[in-house]
Amino acid sequence: VSQGHFHPTCGERPLAPDLGKSMQIVGGINALPGTWPWLVSLQVPSAKGPQHLCAGSILDAHWVLTAAHCFKSGKRSLQSHRIVIGATDISNLLDTVQLRSIYRIVPYQEYNPQSEANDIALVELSSPVIFDNYVQPACLPHSTVDSETLFSDCYISGWRMTTQRGRETSVILQEARVKILETSKCNSSWWYNGAMSPYTLCARYEDGGIDTCQGDSGGPLMCKTSPTSPFYVVGITSWGKGCGEGTNPEVYTSTQPFLKWIHGEMTNLDRLYQKKLDQTPKPTIC
């Protein structure tokens, strides 16, 4: 499978242990540092300090992939957001963590906030990240790969809400193993009854238990195609009903249909030139 990524290397996890099948635990488990080095926490200020809003995935030194609905309110200025990169415990930022501000948010132009169709966005960082053992870019799948059949070893990760009723985000990065289900099954009258938009995936264990919650919005659904392949970000956490309940799986925006758009935005020369102008120091007039 060729890699539809936008960085010379991607999906590398220098510090990660081999993932076994012991992750089939209700609610997931704490992730070890470096396990998911492309995961970032998008944070906004609050009375208690910076608050986790959404997760995202690093694509290259300048860009993060996340969900468009993370910016639906539009009330906060870009300057108030911060991106926490290379963290596991977001309440205790170690010296391995990198912090960045947002230069620009680029939601997909046909995102529909009512139906959550095309729920995908790019975030351009104010300055590039530095890749190391704790910070690595994610892979995106090639556009011709069949996500529902080829990706058999899938995981979710994020600073999730620990219970359906709880309102506190976990400060420790969580991870769990899930299974991609047939879209026709998820969109049937048994589950979402046609509410799933085109270009979406759904995943969970069919017996319930493990699922993502609000704290994971924008975070990745990551799958392998073989034991030796890298992880591919095949989906972006979008929406769902319930948290780990035995009825409804989580819905993810499929990344494959948007590869051309992602690449086009990341290589848009007009925007790159404008950013250079914006960041060039203005001459002082004496």
Of residues 5, 69, 170, 211, which has the active-site annotation?
69
Q: In whole angstroms, how far apart are CA 118 and each of 80, 185, 238, 257?
A: 25, 20, 9, 10
What residues have CB less than 8 Å from 64, skipping those under 6 apart?
A: 40, 42, 56, 57, 58, 83, 122, 123, 125
Select from 173, 151, 162, 135 the least CA-distant residue to 57. 135
229 is catalytic: no
Q: For residue 202, give the H/E element and its range.
A: strand 200-203
CA 211 to chain centre: 15
User: Quick check: is 69 catalytic?
Assistant: yes
DSSP per-residue letters across 243-257: SS-SS--EEEEESGG
Q: Copy the structure tokens of residue 193.
A: 């009854």
Rounded Cα–Cα distance for residues 219 and 126 (Å): 20
Q: Which two tokens stand for residue 133?
A: 């053992």
Strand partners, 170: none
b/e burial code for range 198-213 (CB count within 10 A of at least 16 → b): ebbbbbbbeeebbbbb
Q: How far is CA 183 from the centre of its chain?
A: 20
119, 147, 170, 254: the catalytic one is 119
Contact 121, 68 (CB under 8 A): yes
Catalytic residue among 41, 147, 157, 217: 217
- Please give the positions annotated as active site: 69, 119, 217
